[in-house]
Structure 1
């Protein structure tokens, strides 16, 4: 693959990802692992394993991207996460 083809491929990938936003959940001292896991399963349609892994990342790293997608869908999910008492934002 030539350098020009590689650059075009990278630009195409960047264009696809450019429309994507992320929901990030931050660690806090209030919510339990079980609450975070149950909320991620209910709101973000995570599997139990995904939700557990995200909760551990949140705990040890301080934050975790839990969902990516289009802004209108993420707004609804982020609102539900906030209503459940989690510290979340869309970036």
Structure 2
């Protein structure tokens, strides 16, 4: 006779995606790499290396997530990106 044990595990995971939004920057034919990099450093507090990588991703992939967080924190940053002439949106 064999005894079978059923083990039930509770797995909890936080769904942080519902709380975080993303600022997406899109590629355009107007802004230079230097302008995009300087703007990401100033507005999003990127390091120069991070800003350069984001600029390259935008150039080659057409878009890049440059910042994540709650909507109320991202809104002023996205507004500053738009005022600097970048194509950006919060999703």
Scaled by the length of structure 1, what TM-score is found?
0.87
Aligned to 1:50: 50
Q: CA distance change for structure 1 residues 3 and 53 in 2, over 3 Å: closer, same or farther?
A: farther
Any residues of structure 2 matched to 1:1-91 within 5 Å, and which?
4-5=9-10, 8-9=11-12, 12-13=13-14, 15-91=15-91
Task: Give 1:17 deviation, angstroms.
Answer: 2.4
Query: Unaligned stretches of 5+ in structure 2?
Result: 1-6
Structure with greater Cα Rg = 2
Aligned equivalents of 1:26, 1:62: Cα separation in 2: 6
Q: Deviations over 1:3-34 (max 9, x none)?
A: 844xx34xx24x12220000000000000000
Aligned residues: 85
How well do the aligned residues superpose, as a CA RMSD in angstroms?
1.5
More helix by share: 1
Aligned to 2:3: none
Query: Unaligned stretches of 5+ in structure 1?
Result: none
DSSP-derived class of the 1:46 partner:
coil
Aligned equivalents of 1:87, 1:17: Cα separation in 2: 23
